[in-house]
């Protein structure tokens, strides 16, 4: 098959960029979207042009490096998957595809399709953990955890930190990312001691990083490769008041 | 040079405790005077950084990704072993130790393996306390499952994302220390060189992957936790950026490389679909707990799997290994799959696959229970292949997955360069010639959380002060050397892309240094690799500049190192004239295609020394004594 | 690296979540008011006397001024917060995509222009107050005392088809705003529970439909079935 790609090109240290068009032929529908970019880059290198810079690593939807918006959809059209799990069989022959980086004020573009997502790390840094020094842990079986809660904690802990929730949100809000981490730890007995402090600190950091507020559209949940529920955001809101009031 | 493993004396069970007692201590107030560099933020690197910073050391942590949370440990699916014996099915530290030594086909160090088994329980405690959401039973206690080759249920898991959950645990512990100021983080930095002064590691040189800035960083000790080198095969289950360069740079500076030919081929991966393929995806082998492996009895049978009646299917693993059936260790499962494919019995469009069938499990457990156990793996398979495993059997084929070989370390995890410690997959490891399923996560975390924080004092307490001047000179020299290497590679100005060389190298490795090896093939491989390397340094083309994000340059630097490692791997495989674990030499097999190990001549670790700027390697041997687990033929029949 | 970036200068306690909390509370209050107001409107079907007496009672209730002040402040707070949040969100997003998200990942159209919907409603409310609250004071006497004949004003106002259409349009906007806003308030207030999550959305829809149908019925009824002076 054959595709027309419009890819966002932006030089390092420059504030502006633009789309450039590339035609690429002899593609297999079983090819992954990143393999398409590989092939394009191989072509560009052979033509002595600068290849397209993009973040990628594991290529199996778990490392969270992907930061592509494909035809307006972060990670492409499918639900519950990252851009690296998208295959060309999802596109029509001759289709025109627009590829852009994740966009948000808190995620400045570095080069082409690469963005800076350190803001998410800084949010985790202020409290997204249980403070337990190595070696000081009690025996694992000393605290049973209700299976339903453990499962829900897992569903939230499954966040891969890609930032698609921010990318898709009309307000560029990181609420789902923060709520997932708060939910993961608030649901487990191990997370209780720091529950309030963690909530206050992480919410505050989210605000400082310049993410928008949540208008409950649910687009984040739908774009999330791990399909984390928007109800986690309600939990975050609840946790925040509880933390503030006590 | 005399190699000493520094294994403490005394009974096996007491070695580690005794060693911990005998290791020097560093006064808490003095710890902050020591700077430690950690390269890599996977399970081993992140856990080591966090634990050392908690103790009060000044840690600088480097990773190539934009965030430490993205290291490739994150992709481990199946689980983590621990000798907790929660199910009460007869497990114990000794049994985990025994299984690991036997599973490794008697090519690992007993004392190290025993320590690993001893620590395994503490790892689970630590992770649970961090909030790792392991699977639980309805009673609220932790669930266990049996995993690849184990006859007890000792594997802890978090759906199919155990590696992710453990890494997030270690990452968050690391970020806590970043917040407290104990760890300084350097994301998007690639290690270019190890700085050595007077035989002692005193720092590293890095390249910033966005700006191209080359810079040296000082430390009293350097810890490498940079993972394995499976990407040398081009197609592997490793992440695209996983590479050997950090290890290889250390090797060039005097760290010996051990058992490079021990590479594990994982039996359950999604087969390749075309030449454009950039990587392979692993499916957790926990699938083999409920899936049955088969091929049609007739060669080149093109019927749909559902149209092939029961009696015309060959459930070959169950037939050959009635005791273990589909759960035989990875090397056996992989090799048998290759035998079937070589005999023309393979399935799918490429004929390079076998079936993994869940029909029986569907009938026994029902779809709901099956999806609870493997839901995300099935989903993953469907996303990649477009086929639904609930309805039609999966197609699987072996792929390179893990490398047991790596930089040689002693009992303290210190390499042959003083002050350079190697953790996790990057060291030559406790897995011998073959790693058991769910043991990599265990080893990475054991090294990072529990071993290095104790053993690093063996170096720090006696570490000689380096004069400021000497320090300065070595750091600048290393920077200069790295810059020169970058310039050299940028200047080639040929016409072939780095990816092209990578693919060709991968082909040589997979065909000649892969699952099945022989003398002629290995000799041919060495020659081919040498030629390819020569061509590389003449014909390579890298676009763009050094001072930018330049993925082609990064790739080329890594492939340059792979091109050297490849030769060493082939040489190591050639030298080891026996079949053991993952290393299968055609010349050394029984009439029934079983491996024949040669304990008389090869019960040792092969340790390779590379003198700087020399193209050949010197071989050293560390003899392995098996006092607790008597040498026996590994038989799963 | 990471730590240095954070500007420790700003003390942020007045976080968006709190603003959203107040948005939700005031929103729920206003939603309750529109329901009650709508129910009152239904007296129109009972004839002029019932309608005028009810309205008289409402306006002259002891708590009336307190309620009015409360309403006005809730309304103003809702608007001001909406404005502040919109500005923040605009600057958080700033960069737009060349293509909008589509299919599953798209944001529903009715969730996009909440601030625009709010603006329409604001204009409507102002005009509504001018027309009715501060409109002509007709008088009528049902025996005890002379009270305001609001009924007459209503009937007069809705003889004009343009007014009727404008009301219907504005009320449809209110419907959209209510539908998203109600369920959204629960989310913002953190009031959710696995057992009720689905019903919250359903209840919001029913509520919004009821309120809107109730409101629209008045101008339509007047326009279609009541001639001026016939009342």
Cα-Cα-Cα-Cα torsion C103, C106, C111, C113, nearest 10 degrees, comes to: -110
Read off the pLDDT band of B467 (50, 70, 90): confident
Distance from C-alpha of B284 to C-alpha of B268, rounded to nearest angstrom: 7
Residue B582 has phi, psi (to 5 degrees) of: -75, -15
Count of beta carbons in the 10 Å neighbourhood of residue A28: 16
> Can you tell me whether residue B497 is helix, strand or coil?
coil
Does A137 have pLDDT greater than 90?
yes
Per-residue burial over C20-44, b = 16 or more CB atoms within 10 Å of its CB, e = otherwise: bbbbbbbbbbbbeebeeebeebbbb
Q: Do A172 and C92 touch (CB under 8 A)?
A: yes
Question: Would you say C174 and C110 are in contact if contact means Cβ atoms under 8 Å apart?
Answer: no
Residue B54 has phi, psi (to 5 degrees) of: -60, -35
H-assigned helices in A31-170: 33-46, 118-125, 147-157, 164-168
Q: Do B551 and A53 touch (CB under 8 A)?
A: yes
Interface B-C, measured as beta-carbon pairs within 8 A, has a size of 9
SS (H, E, C) chain C: CHHHHCCCCCCCCCCHHHHHHHHHHHHHHHHHHHHHHHHHHHHHHHCHHHHHHHHHHHHHCCCHHHHHHHHHHHHHHHHHHHHHHHHHHHHHHCCCCCCCCCHHHCCCHHHHCHHHHHHHHHHHHHHHHHHHHCCCCCEEECCCCEEECHHHHHHHHCCCHHHHHHHHHHHHHHHHHHHHHHHHHHHHCCCCCCCCHHHHHHHHHHHHHHHHHHHHHHHHHHHHHCCCCCC
Place of tokens 């990312």: A177
Mean pLDDT of B136-164: 91
Distance from C-alpha of B343 to C-alpha of A148, rounded to nearest angstrom: 48
For the CA atoms of chain A, what is the radius of gyration?
A: 20
Q: In chain B, what residues touch C2 (CB-CB under 8 Å)?
A: 178, 185
Q: What is the pLDDT of residue C13?
A: 63
Distance from C-alpha of B98 to C-alpha of B114, rounded to nearest angstrom: 8
**Residue B56 region by backbone torsions, left for phi larger than 0, else alpha for psi between -120 and 50, else beta:** left
Q: Do B133 and A39 touch (CB under 8 A)?
A: no
Identity of the residue in C10, C96, C101 whose CB atom sits nearest the CB atom of A219: C101
Does B229 have pLDDT greater than 90?
yes
Q: Which residues contact B46 (CB under 8 A, 6 or more apart)?
A: B61, B68, B71, B167, B170, B171, B173, B174, B448
Q: Report the DSSP pairing between strands B394-403 and B200-208.
A: unpaired
> Can you tell me whether residue A113 is helix, strand or coil?
coil
Residue numbers of C between 70 and 89 with CB closer than 8 Å to A = 85, 88-89
Instruction: Check residues A53 and C110 and name the one with the higher pLDDT.
Output: A53
Instruction: Give the CA distances from residue C103 to residues A223, B386, B422, in Å, rounded to whole numbers and listed in that order.
Output: 11, 20, 49
Domain presence at residue B69? no
Does A36 have pLDDT greater than 90?
yes
Q: What is the pLDDT of residue B591?
A: 87
Say which of B330, B435, B558, B634 is annotated catalytic.
B330
DSSP per-residue letters across A114-142 = EE--HHHHHHHHTT-S----TT-PPPGGG
Question: Would you say A89 and A30 are in contact if contact means Cβ atoms under 8 Å apart?
Answer: yes
Q: Which of A107-111, A142-146, B611-615, C169-173 has the lowest mean pLDDT?
A: B611-615
Does B464 have pLDDT greater than 80?
no
SS (H, E, C) B40-103: CCCHHHHHHHHHHHHHCCEEEEECCCCCHHHCHHHHCCCCEECCCCCCCCCCCHHHHHHHHHHH
Q: Which of A146-160, B70-84, B145-159, C211-225 has the lowest mean pLDDT?
A: B145-159
Q: What is the pLDDT of residue B129?
A: 98
Does C28 have pLDDT greater than 80?
yes
Q: Do C1 and B181 touch (CB under 8 A)?
A: no
Place of tokens 């700077």: B35
Mean pLDDT of A165-169: 98
Mean pLDDT of B99-123: 96
Per-residue burial over B450-481, b = 16 or more CB atoms within 10 Å of its CB, e = otherwise: bbbbbbbbbbbeebeebeeeebeebbebbbee
Same domain for B363 and B273: yes
Could you report the per-residue pLDDT of B206-226, keeping only the tens digit for each? 999 999 999 999 999 999 999
* Residue ranges of chain B whose CB lies within 8 Å of a chain C CB: 178-179, 181, 184-187
Does B65 have pLDDT greater than 70?
yes
Could you report the per-residue pLDDT of C172-190, keeping only the tens digit for each? 999 999 999 999 999 999 9
Distance from C-alpha of A108 to C-alpha of A116, rounded to nearest angstrom: 6
Count of beta carbons in the 10 Å neighbourhood of residue C57: 12
Domain presence at residue B437? no
Could you report the per-residue pLDDT of A191-222, keeping only the tens digit for each? 999 999 999 999 999 999 999 999 999 999 99
Q: Which one of B368, B400, B432 terminates a domain?
A: B400
Does B155 have pLDDT greater than 90?
yes
Place of tokens 């002379």: C146
Q: In total, how many domains does chain B have? A: 2
> Can you tell me whether residue B296 is helix, strand or coil?
strand
Domain presence at residue B295? yes
Q: Which residues pair with B403 in a beta bridge?
A: B263
Helix (H) or strand (E) holding B239: none
Per-residue burial over B371-383, b = 16 or more CB atoms within 10 Å of its CB, e = otherwise: eebbebbbbbbeb
Q: What is the pLDDT of residue C229?
A: 54
Could you report the per-residue pLDDT of B351-383, keeping only the tens digit for each? 899 999 999 999 999 999 998 888 878 988 998
Distance from C-alpha of C147 to C-alpha of B41, rounded to nearest angstrom: 79
CA atoms within 13 A on the CB side of B377: 30
Instruction: Give the percent of chain B with pLDDT over 70.
Output: 99
Q: Do A98 and C103 touch (CB under 8 A)?
A: no
Same domain for B597 and B484: yes
Q: Which of A26-35, A177-186, B408-417, C8-17 has the lowest mean pLDDT?
A: C8-17
Cα-Cα-Cα-Cα torsion A49, A50, A51, A55, nearest 10 degrees, comes to: 180
What does the domain layout of chain A look like in residue ranges? 3-114, 118-245
Identity of the residue in A207, A210, A237 whose CB atom sits nearest the CB atom of C189: A237
pTM, 2 dp: 0.95
Q: How far, in whole angstroms, is CA A26 from its chain's centroid?
A: 31
Could you report the per-residue pLDDT of C61-73, keeping only the tens digit for each? 888 899 999 999 9
Question: Would you say C97 and A69 are in contact if contact means Cβ atoms under 8 Å apart?
Answer: yes
Q: What is the pLDDT of residue C110?
A: 86
Q: Do B181 and C2 touch (CB under 8 A)?
A: no
Residue B375 has phi, psi (to 5 degrees) of: -45, -50
DSSP assigned state of A194: T
Average pLDDT, chain B: 94
Q: Decide if B176 touches A, using CB distance below 8 A.
A: yes
DSSP assigned state of B310: G
Range of the domain at B564: 480-604
Could you report the per-residue pLDDT of A108-131, keeping only the tens digit for each? 999 999 999 999 999 999 999 999
Could you report the per-residue pLDDT of B524-583, keeping only the tens digit for each? 999 999 999 999 999 999 999 999 899 999 999 999 999 999 999 999 999 999 999 999
Q: Which residues contact C60 (CB under 8 A, 6 or more apart)?
A: none
Task: Kindly report the CATH number assigned to the domain that includes residue B511.
Answer: 1.20.58.100
Place of tokens 């004003």: C153
Does C9 have pLDDT greater than 50?
no
Task: Kindly report the CATH number assigned to the domain that includes residue B330.
Answer: 3.90.700.10
Per-residue burial over B253-282, b = 16 or more CB atoms within 10 Å of its CB, e = otherwise: bbbbbbbbbbbbbbbbbbbbbeebbbbbbb
Mean pLDDT of B409-420: 97
Residue numbers of C between 98 and 137 with CB closer than 8 Å to A = 98-108, 111-112, 114
Domain presence at residue B568? yes
Nearest CA in chain B to C6: B179
Q: In chain A, what residues touch C10 (CB-CB under 8 Å)?
A: 208
Among the listed residues B425, B407, B426, B406, the one whose alpha carbon sits nearest the alpha carbon of residue B417: B407
H-assigned helices in B343-430: 359-385
Same domain for B484 and B386: no
Q: Decide if A1 touches B, using CB distance below 8 A.
A: no
Read off the pLDDT band of C12 (50, 70, 90): low
Q: CA angle, corner A159, sides to A157 and A162, nearest 5?
A: 155
Helix (H) or strand (E) holding B559: helix B551-575
Read off the pLDDT band of C14 (50, 70, 90): confident
Read off the pLDDT band of C228 (50, 70, 90): low
Q: Which of A21-30, B474-483, C4-13, C108-117 has the lowest mean pLDDT?
A: C4-13
Distance from C-alpha of B47 to C-alpha of B64, rounded to nearest angstrom: 17
Question: Would you say B561 and B245 are in contact if contact means Cβ atoms under 8 Å apart?
Answer: yes
Does C3 have pLDDT greater than 50?
no
Assigned CATH for A3-114: 3.10.20.30
Could you report the per-residue pLDDT of A223-245, keeping only the tens digit for each? 999 999 999 999 999 999 999 88
Q: What is the pLDDT of residue B149?
A: 64
CATH number 1.10.1060.10 is the correct assignment for the domain at A118-245 = yes
B136 counts as catalytic: no
DSSP assigned state of B464: P
Q: What is the pLDDT of residue B376?
A: 79
**Residue B593 region by backbone torsions, left for phi larger than 0, else alpha for psi between -120 and 50, else beta:** left
Read off the pLDDT band of B275 (50, 70, 90): confident
Instruction: Give the percent of chain A with pLDDT over 90.
Output: 97
Q: What is the pLDDT of residue B483?
A: 97
Q: Do A63 and B70 touch (CB under 8 A)?
A: yes
Distance from C-alpha of B117 to C-alpha of B126, rounded to nearest angstrom: 15
Residue numbers of B between 194 and 213 with CB closer than 8 Å to A = 210
- Chains near C with 3+ CB pairs less than 8 A apart are A, B
Interface A-C, measured as beta-carbon pairs within 8 A, has a size of 160
């Amino acid at each position: 098959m054959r595709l027309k790609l419009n890819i966002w090109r932006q030089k390092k240290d420059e504030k502006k960029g633009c789309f450039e068009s590339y035609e690429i032929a002899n593609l297999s529908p079983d090819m992954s979207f990143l393999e398409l970019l590989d092939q394009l880059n191989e072509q560009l290198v052979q033509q002595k042009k600068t290849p397209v810079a993009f973040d990628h690593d594991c290529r199996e939807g778990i490392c969270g490096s992907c930061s592509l918006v494909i035809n307006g959809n972060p990670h492409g059209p499918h639900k519950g998957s990252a851009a690296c799990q998208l295959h060309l069989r999802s596109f029509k022959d001759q289709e025109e595809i627009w590829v852009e980086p994740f966009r948000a004020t808190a995620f400045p573009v570095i080069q082409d399709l690469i963005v800076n997502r350190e803001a998410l790390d800084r949010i985790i840094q202020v409290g997204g953990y249980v403070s337990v020094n190595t070696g000081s842990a009690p025996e694992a079986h000393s605290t049973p955890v209700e299976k339903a809660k453990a499962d829900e904690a897992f569903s939230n802990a499954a966040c891969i930190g890609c930032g698609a929730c921010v990318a898709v949100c009309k307000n560029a809000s990181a609420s789902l990312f923060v709520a997932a981490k708060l939910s993961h730890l608030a649901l487990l007995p191990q997370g209780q001691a720091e529950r309030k402090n963690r909530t206050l600190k992480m919410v505050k950091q989210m605000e400082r990083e310049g993410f928008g507020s949540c208008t409950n559209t649910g687009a984040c949940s739908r774009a999330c490769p791990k399909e984390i529920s928007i109800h986690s955001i309600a939990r975050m809101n609840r946790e925040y008041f509880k933390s503030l009031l006590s | 040079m005399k190699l000493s493993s520094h294994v403490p004396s005394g009974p096996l069970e007491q070695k580690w405790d005794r060693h911990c007692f005998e290791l020097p201590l560093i006064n808490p107030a003095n710890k902050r005077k020591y700077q430690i560099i950690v390269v890599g933020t996977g399970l081993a690197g992140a856990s080591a950084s966090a634990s050392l910073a908690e103790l009060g050391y000044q840690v600088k942590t480097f990773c190539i990704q934009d965030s430490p949370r993205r290291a490739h440990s994150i992709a481990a699916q199946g689980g983590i072993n621990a000798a907790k014996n929660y199910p009460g099915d007869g497990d114990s530290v000794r049994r985990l130790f025994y299984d690991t030594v036997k599973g490794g086909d008697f090519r690992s160090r007993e004392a190290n393996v025993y320590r690993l088994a001893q620590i395994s329980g503490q790892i689970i405690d630590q992770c649970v306390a961090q909030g790792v959401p392991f699977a639980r039973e309805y009673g609220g206690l932790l669930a266990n499952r049996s995993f690849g080759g184990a006859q007890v249920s000792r594997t802890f898991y978090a759906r199919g994302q155990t590696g992710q959950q453990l890494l997030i645990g270690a990452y968050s512990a690391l970020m806590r220390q970043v917040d407290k100021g104990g760890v300084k983080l350097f994301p998007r930095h690639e290690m270019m060189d190890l700085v050595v002064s007077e035989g002692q590691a005193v720092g590293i040189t890095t390249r910033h992957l966005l700006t191209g800035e080359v810079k040296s960083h000082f430390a009293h000790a350097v810890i490498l936790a940079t993972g394995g080198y499976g990407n040398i095969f081009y197609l592997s289950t490793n992440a695209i950026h996983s590479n050997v360069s950090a290890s290889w740079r250390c090797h060039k500076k005097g760290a010996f490389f051990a058992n490079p030919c021990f590479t594990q081929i994982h039996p359950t991966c999604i087969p390749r679909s075309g030449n454009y393929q950039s990587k392979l995806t692993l499916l957790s082998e926990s699938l083999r707990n409920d899936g049955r492996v088969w091929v049609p009895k007739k060669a080149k049978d093109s019927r749909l799997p559902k149209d092939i009646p029961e009696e015309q299917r060959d459930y070959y693993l169950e037939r050959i290994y009635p005791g273990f059936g589909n759960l035989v260790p990875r090397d056996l499962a992989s090799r048998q799959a290759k035998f079937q494919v070589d005999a023309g019995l393979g399935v799918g469009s490429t004929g390079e696959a076998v079936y993994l069938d869940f029909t029986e499990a569907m009938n026994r457990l029902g779809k709901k229970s099956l999806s609870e156990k493997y839901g995300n793996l099935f989903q993953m398979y469907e996303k990649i292949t477009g086929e639904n495993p609930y309805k039609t059997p999966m197609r699987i084929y072996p792929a390179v997955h893990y490398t047991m070989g790596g930089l040689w370390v002693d009992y303290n995890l210190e390499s042959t360069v003083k002050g350079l410690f190697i953790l996790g997959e990057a060291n030559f490891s406790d897995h011998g010639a073959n790693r058991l399923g769910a043991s990599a996560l265990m080893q990475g975390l054991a090294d990072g959380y529990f071993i290095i924080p104790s053993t690093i004092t063996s170096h720090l307490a006696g570490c000689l002060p380096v004069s400021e001047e000497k320090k300065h000179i070595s750091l600048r020299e290393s920077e200069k050397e790295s810059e020169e290497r970058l310039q050299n590679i940028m200047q080639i100005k040929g016409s072939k892309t780095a990816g092209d060389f990578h693919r060709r190298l991968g082909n040589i490795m997979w065909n000649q240094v892969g699952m099945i090896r022989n003398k002629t093939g290995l000799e041919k491989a060495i020659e081919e690799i040498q030629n390819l390397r020569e061509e590389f340094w003449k014909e390579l083309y890298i676009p763009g500049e050094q001072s930018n994000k330049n993925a082609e340059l990064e790739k080329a630097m890594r492939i340059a190192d792979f091109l050297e490692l490849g030769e060493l791997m082939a040489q190591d495989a050639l030298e080891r004239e026996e079949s053991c674990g993952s290393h299968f030499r055609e010349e050394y097999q029984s009439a029934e295609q079983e491996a024949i190990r040669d304990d008389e001549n090869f019960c040792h670790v092969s340790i390779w020394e590379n003198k700087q700027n020399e193209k050949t390697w010197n071989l050293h041997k560390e003899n392995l004594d098996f006092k607790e687990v008597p040498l026996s033929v590994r038989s799963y029949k | 690296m990471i730590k240095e970036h954070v500007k420790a200068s700003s003390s942020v306690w007045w976080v968006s979540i709190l603003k959203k909390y107040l948005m939700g509370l005031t929103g729920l209050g206003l939603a309750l008011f529109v329901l009650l107001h709508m129910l009152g409107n239904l007296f129109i079907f009972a004839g002029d006397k019932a309608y005028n007496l009810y309205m008289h009672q409402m306006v002259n209730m002891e708590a009336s001024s307190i309620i009015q002040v409360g309403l006005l402040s809730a309304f103003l707070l809702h608007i001001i917060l909406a404005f502040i949040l919109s500005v923040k969100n605009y600057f958080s997003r700033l960069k737009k995509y060349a293509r909008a998200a589509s299919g599953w990942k798209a944001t529903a159209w009715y969730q996009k222009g909440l601030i625009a919907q709010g603006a329409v409603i604001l204009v409507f409310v102002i005009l509504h107050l001018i027309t009715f609250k501060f409109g002509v004071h007709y008088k009528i006497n049902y025996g005890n005392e002379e009270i305001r004949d609001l009924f007459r004003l209503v009937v007069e106002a809705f003889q004009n088809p343009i007014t009727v259409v404008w009301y219907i349009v504005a009320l449809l906007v209110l419907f959209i705003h209510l539908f998203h806003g109600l369920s959204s308030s629960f989310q913002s207030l953190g009031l959710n529970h696995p057992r009720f999550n689905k019903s919250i959305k359903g209840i919001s829809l029913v509520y919004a439909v009821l309120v809107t149908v109730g409101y629209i019925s008045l101008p339509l009824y007047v326009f279609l079935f009541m001639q001026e002076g016939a009342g």
